[in-house]
RNA sequence: CGGGGUGUAGCUCAGCCUGGUAGAGCACUACGUUCGGGACGUAGGAGUCGCAGGUUCAAAUCCUGUCACCCCGACCA
């Protein structure tokens, strides 16, 4: 069933504005009966149904929150009629929402162009051969949507475009003189997420700006990477978002150096560690802290074995023995890459970081905890009384655990623990690694300040890929000596659709969205009161509407025959930054009422030059 | 994929336990009154009760299967 848009019984006045290409749209919006009764201008085109009059604009706001929307941005996007769900993780962008999406796109495009990147457009459907060649046909897993055409040939719906761009680059680029170069596109991606959620925030099909740069060497790549870092900083700054660039893990895309851009919001899915004294910031997955500088204390206590019946957790051990968790050590057994079991030792009050751990030699990636059967087979102990003492096999010890003296650990014997354990005396000196999750209050690794934990929404990610794909796909150019040179690559993503949701998460109140100026679908909403009754109100509202359009300010005229409360509520839900109320009451005094979406009180402005007033505010 | 939950009008939901043939509010249509913060009245349109099978004189309701969606965990822009 088609939605029913707001209608206006009243005949709209003839407008002098030339709508150009919008005429066709305007004509299409007209119902058949109306078309027959409409009037035509001298060129025979329809001009009566100006598209930015709310009586004709297809908005459909909801008072109630659709039941499946969990986070505010999803709720507000549905309530304001920006998107509608088509299937799990698949969304339709309605006209009002698309306006904001296009603004995001345009800012990204302008800044990418300014950084010297070239826009191109790759197909969403990609041939399987390229993925087989890069090795990701096997590696990518079920998130990759694989499809067949009528000839039974295999394709994928692209979740990313490294293969296609590398293929193009190796065919088009021949000489080092053509480098460095950066290509980007703003294109739909499909990732068959296990659990799409939060509306457009984690959708399966989404819009992404993806850029790929090609270089002769690592130094040039680092320079190109820096250019992208700067471009991203400008992009998110222009959008009026509070964001933070953080160190990141390469994940499935691969590569060494990588940073994420996070929009800070409490509802964010990612935790990030931020120093309170300098610019250190990292995804919790890779965040580290300063290792203790002081030397380890020497042994004092003798090694003693104590009975700890039915004690399994660190908390229980502490309670029984009267020691702090920070003086205990916990030993976690994980699957090794050779079918064995590897022991990871961390301090009792710390937690294991899976991303850091799975990078260690001899550990299976992704990280898996060893099954109870395997634990029994390799140690003859039960989980709960495991320890490094007497463990046969590889042992990795976290820096903080390695710094302990006279500590407590499991004895690898059911219902017993050791206390007074010391590295070097009772055990060999450990293999020291960094495998724990940093905690709020830890010292920053830069040596200045302490770590705070914040939450963020990842809206951008930049990588130095190196020769990962170019080597696999043999993408080379000739160097100065005429020898083949494997190109160095960087890749740079921005979640275009996700930005819209992230901006709302960061900018809303109880009444609705509060768009940052750069993302607002319209800058100004005109709210005439009694538009249908008062000739004066109608005349002034129409004139203002023409004037704003004439100077190129996006304006929406709420000419609906609705009560004031409805118009106010909708203008706030939609989050239009500037609202001008045209009412007979203030017109008598030669005034209009102005209110910014962030303000709680209206102010009177002169009716003489509202366009100039708004223009000043837009520029300030 | 594992665990939990829900499918009844465009939206939010009641009815289901205890079978008796479909409801409310919002939205929509018409008319009237109203009109500076989501009005009111009257009338109206709209649902194969997710789908399939079964039990029964009778199924939204009970049973079986199936599909879809949502929530909690490992992935990502």
pLDDT value, residue A49: 44
Q: Which nucleotide is nearest to A62 (CA to C1')?
A: B11
Percent of chain A at pLDDT above 70? 90
In whole angstroms, what is the distance from residue A347 CA to residue A292 CA?
13
Strands A154-157 and A125-127, sheet pairing:
antiparallel
Q: Kindly tell me if the per-residue pLDDT of A278 is higher than 90.
A: no
Mean of the pLDDT values across residues A175-194?
Answer: 94
Q: Kindly tell me if the per-residue pLDDT of A37 is higher than 50.
A: no
Neighbouring-strand partners of residue A229 = none
Cβ neighbours for A482, distance < 8 A, ≥ 6 positions apart = none
Q: Helix axis angle, A496-506 relative to A95-114, nearest 10°?
A: 110
Q: How far is the CA of A367 from the C1' of B74 (A)?
A: 10
Residue with tokens 């083949």: A484
Q: Buried b vs exposed e over A170-186: b needs ≥16 C-beta within 10 Å?
A: beebeebeebbbbbbbb
Mean of the pLDDT values across residues A372-382?
Answer: 71
Q: List, for residues A156-177, the tens digit of each pLDDT value.
A: 999 999 999 999 999 999 999 9
Quick one: which residue's CA is nearest to B46's C1'? A1
Quick one: which residue's CA is nearest to B72's C1'? A195
- Of A209, A164, A47, the residue nearest A549 (C-alpha): A47
The pTM for the full model equals: 0.86
State chain A's mean pLDDT as an integer. 86
Chain A window 364-383, residues with Cβ within 7 A of nucleic strand B: 366
Q: Kindly tell me if the per-residue pLDDT of A120 is higher than 50.
A: yes
Percent of chain A at pLDDT above 90? 58
Would you say the C-beta of A355 is within 7 Å of strand B? Answer: yes
Q: Kindly tell me if the per-residue pLDDT of A24 is higher than 90.
A: no
Would you say the C-beta of A131 is within 7 Å of strand B? Answer: no
pLDDT value, residue A197: 84
What was the ipTM of the complex prediction? 0.89
In whole angstroms, what is the distance from residue A418 CA to residue A323 CA?
12
Cβ neighbours for A66, distance < 8 A, ≥ 6 positions apart = A75, A78, A79
Q: Kindly tell me if the per-residue pLDDT of A326 is higher than 70.
A: yes
Chain A window 527-566, residues with Cβ within 7 A of nucleic strand B: 529-530, 533, 563-566
Q: Greater confidence, A532 or A216?
A: A216
In whole angstroms, what is the distance from residue A359 CA to residue A19 CA?
59
Q: Which 8-state DSSP code applies to residue A415? A: T
Q: What is the total residue count of chain A? A: 620
Q: How far is the CA of A199 from the C1' of B66 (A)?
A: 27
- Tokens representing A28 are 């299409």
Give the range among A13-27, A180-194, A299-313, A397-411 with minimum mean pLDDT: A13-27
Would you say the C-beta of A81 is within 7 Å of strand B? Answer: no
Q: How far is the CA of A79 from the C1' of B6 (A)?
A: 21
Q: How far is the CA of A61 from the C1' of B23 (A)?
A: 25
Q: Buried b vs exposed e over A299-311: b needs ≥16 C-beta within 10 Å?
A: beeeeeebebeeb
Q: Greater confidence, A227 or A18?
A: A227
């Amino acid at each position: 069933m088609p939605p029913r848009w707001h209608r206006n019984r009243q005949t709209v006045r003839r407008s002098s504005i030339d709508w150009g290409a919008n005429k066709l749209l305007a004509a299409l919006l007209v119902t058949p009966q109306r078309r027959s009764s409409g009037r035509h201008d001298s060129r025979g085109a329809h001009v009566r149904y100006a598209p930015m009059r709310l009586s004709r604009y297809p908005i459909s706001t909801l008072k109630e929150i659709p039941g499946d929307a969990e986070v505010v941005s999803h709720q507000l996007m549905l309530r304001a009629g920006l998107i509608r769900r088509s299937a799990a993780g698949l969304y339709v962008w309605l006209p009002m929402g698309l306006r904001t999406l296009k603004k995001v796109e345009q800012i990204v495009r302008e800044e990418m162009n300014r950084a010297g990147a070239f826009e191109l457009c790759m197909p969403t459907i990609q041939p399987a051969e390229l993925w087989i060649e890069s090795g990701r046909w096997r590696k990518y897993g079920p998130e990759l949507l694989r499809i067949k055409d009528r000839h039974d040939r295999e394709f994928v719906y692209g979740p990313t475009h490294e293969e296609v761009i590398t293929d193009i680059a190796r065919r088009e680029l021949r000489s080092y003189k053509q480098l460095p170069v950066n290509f980007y596109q703003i294109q739909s991606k499909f990732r068959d997420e296990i659990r799409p959620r939060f509306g457009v925030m984690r959708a399966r099909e989404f819009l992404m700006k993806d850029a790929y740069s090609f270089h002769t060497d690592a130094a040039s790549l680092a320079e190109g990477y820096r250019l992208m870092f700067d471009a991203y900083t400008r992009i998110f700054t222009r959008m009026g978002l509070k964001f933070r660039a953080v160190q990141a893990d390469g994940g499935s895309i691969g590569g060494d150096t990588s940073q994420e851009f996070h929009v800070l919001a409490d509802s964010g899915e990612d935790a990030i560690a931020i120093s309170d004294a300098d610019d250190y910031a990292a995804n919790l997955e890779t965040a580290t802290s300063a290792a203790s500088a002081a030397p380890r204390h020497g042994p004092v206590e003798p090694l003693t074995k104590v009975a700890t019946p039915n004690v399994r957790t660190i908390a229980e051990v502490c309670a029984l023995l009267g020691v702090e968790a920070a003086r205990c050590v916990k030993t976690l057994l994980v699957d090794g890459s050779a079918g064995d079991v590897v022991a990871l030792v961390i301090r009792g009050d710390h937690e294991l970081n899976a991303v850091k751990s799975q990078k260690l030699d001899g550990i299976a990636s992704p990280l898996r905890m060893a099954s109870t059967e395997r634990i029994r087979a390799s140690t003859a102990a039960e989980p709960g009384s495991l320890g490094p003492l007497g463990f046969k096999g590889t042992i990795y010890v976290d820096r903080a655990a390695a710094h302990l003296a006279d500590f407590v650990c499991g004895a690898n014997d059911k219902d017993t623990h050791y206390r007074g354990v010391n590295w070097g005396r009772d055990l060999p000196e450990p293999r020291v690694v960094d495998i724990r999750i940093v905690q709020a209050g830890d010292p920053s690794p830069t040596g200045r300040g302490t770590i705070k934990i914040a939450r963020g929404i990842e809206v951008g990610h930049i990588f130095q890929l190196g020769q990962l794909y170019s080597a696999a796909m043999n993408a080379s150019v000739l160097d100065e000596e005429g020898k083949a040179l494997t190109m160095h690559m960087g890749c740079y993503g921005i979640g275009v659709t996700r930005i819209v949701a992230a901006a709302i998460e960061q900018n809303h109140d109880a009444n609705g969205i509060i768009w940052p100026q750069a993302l607002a679908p319209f800058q100004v909403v005109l709210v005439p009161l009694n538009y249908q009754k008062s000739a004066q109100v109608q005349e002034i509202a129409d004139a203002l509407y023409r004037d704003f359009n004439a100077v190129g300010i996006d304006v929406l005229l709420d000419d609906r025959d609705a009560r004031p409360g409805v118009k106010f509520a909708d203008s706030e839900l939609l989050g239009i930054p500037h609202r001008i109320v045209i009412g007979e009451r203030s017109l008598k005094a030669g005034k209009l009422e102005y209110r910014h979406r962030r303000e709680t009180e209206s102010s009177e402005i002169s009716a003489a030059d509202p366009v100039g007033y708004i223009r000043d505010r837009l520029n300030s």
